[in-house]
Amino acid sequence: MAQTSPFVPGLAGIPCAKSAIGMVDGSAGKLQYRGYPIEDLAKACSFEEVVYLLLLGELPTEAQLAPFRDEMVREREISFRAIDVFERLPERAHPMTALTIGVSTLGTYYEGDHVEDLALSRAIAVRLTAKVPTLVAAWHRIRQGKRPVPPRADLGHAENFLYMLDGEVPDPMAAHVAEVALILHAEHSMNASTFAARVTGSTLADPYAVVASAVGALSGRLHGGANERVLDMLRAIPDPSPEGVRRWAEDRLARHDKIMGFGHRVYKVKDPRADILQNLATDLFAKLGRTPIYDLAVELEGQMEKLVGHKGIYPNVDFYSGIVYEKLGIPVDLFTPVFAVARVSGWLAHLLEQLEDNRIFRPSQIWVGEKDRTFVPMAER
C-alpha cells in the first residue's frame, strides 16, 4: 500500500487527543489550566486548589476544598514496606530511578478496577499526588543514611515536602516560592511525559504504571532533566562579565550548540512560567541573599535577547527553576523529581480524561526497510 501520510519527526504539531485540561498558546505566551490563566492561579491559589481544578474540572469552594485537603493529608503516609524497598537500593541510584520503583511498589498495595470504578480512579489520583512527595523525600533521606521524616498534617503540600527533606519547617517565603513552582509545573498540555501517560493509560494499565511510565519519560535530559543542566551550563561560563557572557553565547550559537533553558517547542515568546519564576526569584533572593549564579543568569538572558530574541528564542521554565530550587536548598539531582511532584496531578488528570472515551493509541509508521527478502539457511550464510 502506498504511503499517504507525511512523516513528522517527533509528531510535532500532530494532534493526538482532545483535551480540556491544559491549553498552551505558544504565539501569545499563554498557559491556562481548565481555562484559567496560569498567572491568576499562581498568584491566588494553593497547590491543593490547583490539583482539585485539574482532577475535577472546577475551582473548589471553601466547603469543597477542606475535605479534599484532608484527603490529601491522609494519603501522605507510605507503607514501611515501601521504605524497606528503598533501603535495599544502592545509594548512588538516581532519585528518578528510585521514584519509578517507589511508584510501582505502591501499586502492589492497592486493589480495585479503576476502569469500571471512576470514584476509585479519582481516589488513586489523589493518593498518588499526595504520596509522590513523600517518596521523593524518603529516598533523599535514606540515601544519606538517615531515616525518613514523617509528613506533618498541619503543613501545606509544598511546605510539608520541604519539611520532609531536612526535618526543618521552611521559611514562609521559601514555602510560598516552592508552592508557586509546583503550580507552574503541574500541567503543560501534551508534552512527552503526559503523552507517555496517556499512551500507557490507553492500554487500561493501572494508574501506578501510568505514573511510572510518565516518570521515565520525564527523566530524560530533553524533558525534566533540562533544569539540572542549566546550572551546569551557567557554572561553565568562564567570564561572568557582560562582555564575557556575550562572547560565550556568541561562540555557542556559532557552533550551533544548544544553550540550555532557552527556546521551546511550543512557545515563540518568553515562557510565561519563566516570567513568574523570575519574579519569585527576585523576591526570594532579596530576602535570603543574592547569589552570583542568579546574576549570571540575568546577564545571559539579556545577552540572548539581543542575539536571538528576534528569532523567538527566549528563556523557558527550566532556566530559572533550577536556580530557585538551589536557593531553596534542594539538591541538583532532586530538581527533576520536584518536577514530578508537581506534574503527577497533571498526568493523572489526563488519565481520567483518557478513560472518559478511551481508544488505545496505535499510530502507524513509514516503512524504510527492505521487503520480501529471500531467507538463507544457517549453513549457507
**Which residues span the domain enclosing 232?**
226-327
Confidence of residue 234 (pLDDT cuts 50, 70, 90): very high
Query: How many domains are there within the chain?
Result: 2
Last residue of a domain, one of 327, 343, 376: 327
pLDDT in tens, 237-270: 999 999 999 999 999 999 999 898 887 777 777 8
Cell numbers at 359, concatenated: 481508544
The DSSP 8-state label assigned to residue 186 in this structure reads S
pLDDT tens readout for residues 298-330: 899 999 999 998 888 888 888 888 888 988 999
pLDDT tens, 50-103? Answer: 999 999 999 999 999 999 999 999 999 998 888 999 999 999 999 999 999 999
Angle at 42 between CA 38 and CA 46, to 5 degrees: 125
Tell if the pTM clears 0.85, that is, is over it.
Answer: yes
Beta bridge partners of 103: none
Q: Does 142 have pLDDT greater than 80?
A: yes
Q: How far apart are CA 205 and CA 207, in angstroms?
A: 7
What's the maximum distance between 2 C-alpha atoms anywhere in the chain?
A: 78
How far apart are the C-alpha atoms of 165 and 47, rounded to whole Å?
18
170 and 205 co-located in one domain: yes
Is residue 2 a part of any domain in this protein?
no
- 47 and 160 inside one domain: yes
The answer as to whether 298 is a domain residue is yes
Would residue 371 count as lying in a domain?
no
Residues 278 and 41: their CA atoms lie apart, in Å, by 16
Predicted pLDDT at 3: 52
Amino acid making up residue 316: N
Q: Is residue 3 part of a domain?
A: no
Which entry of 264, 271, 275, 350 is annotated as an active-site residue? Answer: 264
Catalytic pick among 114, 206, 318, 350: 318
Is 209 part of a structural domain of the chain?
A: yes
Whether residues 169 and 81 share a domain: the answer is yes
Shared-domain flag, residues 20 and 118: yes
How far, in Å, CA of 29 to CA of 147, rounded? Answer: 43
Alpha-carbon Rg for the chain in angstroms: 22
Q: Cα 176 to the chain's mean position, in Å?
A: 18
- For residue 306, tell me if it sits in a domain: yes
Is-catalytic flag, 25?
A: no
Which grid cell is 128? 498518588
Residue 231 lies in a domain: yes
State yes or no: is 251 an active-site residue: no
Q: Are residues 64 and 162 located together in one domain of the fold?
A: yes
Q: Do residues 76 and 156 share a domain? A: yes
Residues 246 and 321 placed together within one structural domain of the fold: yes
